[in-house]
A and B are shown apart, each in its own frame.
Chain A
Amino acid sequence: MSETVLKVENVTMQFGGVIAVDNMNIVVNKGEIVSMIGPNGAGKTTAFNVITGVYAPSNGAVYFGGKKIVENYPQGKMKKLYKGENNGMYSHSIAPTPDKITQLGIARTFQNIRLFKSQTVFENILIAEHLRRTSNLFTATFHLNMAEEEKMRREADELLEILELSDVRNEMATSLPYGKQRRVEMARALATKPSLLLLDEPAAGMNPQETDELTAFIGRIRNDFGLTIFMIEHHMDLVMEISDRIYVLDFGKTIAEGIPEEIQNNPRVIEAYLGGAVDE
């Protein structure tokens, strides 16, 4: 059970003089559902953006499946500005672009849904198949790869079938109700065949019934696809119900970590939530 999938090591993200993520250490093991909670502006999405290569961290490293995928140290302007810890611990810079991270097997969804708006649900899913192409520009243009093209379409259709989205296959993705759009976005992330799925507030804007459905859905895809899930979420019902472990962030710092029961009774967590704006 304890095979580590994702390890965030001493990651600090500083924008100018502001530390958004302060010396973050996170471990996600295979098959787990791990949640990250915290008040608004605690640095949760920033942490996701560091893991997925949108930002290079100011300092620290990220490991995926035992392999170092991101590393950086304060350099350039940041050299003088850097206020975080562990300065000097890292000396390399590995800064892959987000597409490289996706190709390694980390898929993500976004806080504000980012579906391809001019395209149907099916086309949205189909785009994810592009990263496994073996055809080049020439063979793809002249349709010399019909077998691969058909395989792409078949796989996309199979995924829609499994996720019970076949009925909206030909609808425009953005014309769907909000809950369905979330589900399509997750389906699209799954179509990249990830081993780790990062969900950024999957239940944002959902009503209690949709949230319940989502809870079941997340549990199901974890089991069906053999996934490890790391998510940011504000809905405490959802978080407490499906998380194996929880990290709590406040002002960029990890203030607590543990199983849901521990977190619920942790005085620092209660203070952070009651002291700041409660976002539920």
Chain B
Amino acid sequence: MKKKRDLIIGLALIVVLLVVLRILEVNISPQSQWAMLLTVLKKGSIYALVAVSMNLLNGFTGLFSLGQAGFMMIGAYTYAIFTIPVDQREMVYMYYDGGIIQFALPAVLGIILAGIAAALFAFLIGIPVLRLKSDYLAIATLGFAEIMKALFQWDSLGPLTNGSNMLRSYPTPASASVIYPFVVSGICIAIIVMLINSTYGRAFKAIRDDEIAAEAMGINLAHHKRIAFTVSSFFAGISGALLAMFQTNVQAKSFNSAMTYEILLIVVIGGIGSVTGSVISSFLFIACSEWLLRFLDEQHVIGDFTVPLLRSGFRKVVFSIIIMVIVLFFRQGIMGTREFSISGIIDKITGKSRKAKREGGNS
């Protein structure tokens, strides 16, 4: 009964959210100062997906991987390559005689294919690198992402990837409407949450807590790590496709290691091991970096007084300080490993005992 109640409330909230988004979208004109809000919502929802996918690895399976930007790039390229309309290809691939692919898939298929391509790469790269532990795994995955970045810009692959030139003119539904990235990300995050709550998710958490004990419980480490890595990359690939739509163009050099660190920062701020934390912090992070903290990058003059320090790039300094403060004093992030749930809030409001709440959360 309680589950049913939560489900109904959850669905109702989703409908309300979508309606609100739609209203915002219709009413905010591109010229108004609130137009940035739509950008934040779009990009935030895309980053939320990749942050949750990274959290599945780092927070729930205990695999410290820094390859997320690389998998996003694979997703973004796959989406772009396969969805550019045939009549546009001659123009996009102008240096490569229109490229080698002469067909176009619908956007939805392109998104799924983006996920599959990223997952395939992850599966293959996972065979050697998942033997590594902690920092070594981080270095190997980061290296992989850099190699992929270089590979995609390689001139010989030009007919496929357009070399170091940008891919564009593909369908961009996520850029046109804020609903689109929200729905796609929402579905993907829901699937990740369902995975985490399944028996496989419990096995992942066991591996995170104690590999040796997990193995003694009959959990095949290699198999489960590979699943987590592949699934995480699948969703990173999908978020890459969404990002490609959002940016309306794709270029390998934008998927640099700084992007991975941004995602890592989101995960850490939100709380390693909390899905809702990652989602909340993606919106916060994107809002700060794209909108609210932009003023730090501009020179401000009040009367005769020029505000010191504020210049291009100062935003990055502030971010670095925020990271240090979080790592030093708020290691748990916003949510720690807790989750934000409807039933939790209702219980809090109606004042049920802690114990009952915990039982409710577990069963």
Contacts and interface: CB of A to CB of B under 8 A. Distances in A.
B200 A99 contact: no
Contacts of B210: 114-117
Nearest to A122: B362
A130 B217 contact: yes
A188 B202 CA distance: 14
B209 A131 contact: no
B362 A120 contact: yes
Given A122-B362, A137-B227, A170-B362, A152 B217 contact: no
Nearest to B191: A141
Interface stretch (A6-14, A19-27, A100-108, A233-241): A100-108
A135 interface: yes
B355 A127 contact: no
Contacts of A189: 216
A133 B216 contact: no
Contacts, number: 106
A131 B337 contact: no
A130 B202 contact: yes
Given A114-B210, A114-B212, A170-B359, A135 B199 contact: yes
B213 interface: yes
A248 interface: no
A102 B199 contact: no
A119 B205 contact: yes
A127 B212 contact: no
Contact of A97 (B198, B206, B208, B220): B220
A185 B49 CA distance: 36
A127 B202 contact: yes
A100 B221 CA distance: 11
A98 B215 contact: yes
Interface residues of B, number: 33
Contacts of B222: 97
B231 to A, nearest CB: 8
Interface residues of A, number: 40
Residue of B202, B212, B217, B221 with most chain A CB atoms under a 10 A cut-off: B217
The interface residues of chain B, by DSSP majority, are classed as helix
Contacts of B205: 116, 118-119, 123, 127
Contacts of A126: 202
Given A137-B227, A170-B359, A102 B202 contact: no
B219 interface: yes
Contacts of B206: 116, 119, 127, 130
Interface string B205-240: 110111011111111111000010001000000000
B358 interface: yes
B194 interface: yes
A135 to B, nearest CB: 7
Given A99-B218, A116-B206, A127-B219, A110 B213 contact: yes
Contact of B217 (A102, A143, A153): A102
A195 interface: no
Nearest to A131: B218
B195 interface: yes
A143 B362 contact: no
Residue of A100, A116, A120, A143 with most chain B CB atoms under a 10 A cut-off: A116
B203 interface: yes
Given A99-B216, A116-B206, A131-B218, 19 more contacts: A97-B220, A102-B218, A110-B212, A114-B212, A114-B213, A114-B216, A116-B214, A118-B205, A123-B202, A123-B362, A126-B202, A128-B217, A128-B218, A137-B200, A140-B200, A141-B198, A143-B194, A170-B355, A189-B216
24 contacts: A54-B212, A98-B212, A100-B220, A102-B215, A102-B217, A103-B218, A114-B212, A115-B210, A116-B205, A116-B210, A116-B213, A118-B208, A118-B209, A118-B337, A127-B202, A127-B206, A137-B195, A140-B195, A140-B198, A140-B199, A141-B198, A141-B200, A170-B355, A188-B217
In the complex, the 6 A-B pairs of residues with the closest C-beta atoms, listed nearest first: A131-B218, A102-B218, A114-B213, A116-B209, A140-B198, A98-B215
Interface of A: 52, 54, 97-100, 102-103, 107-108, 110, 114-120, 122-123, 126-131, 133, 135, 137, 140-143, 149, 152-153, 170, 188-189, 192
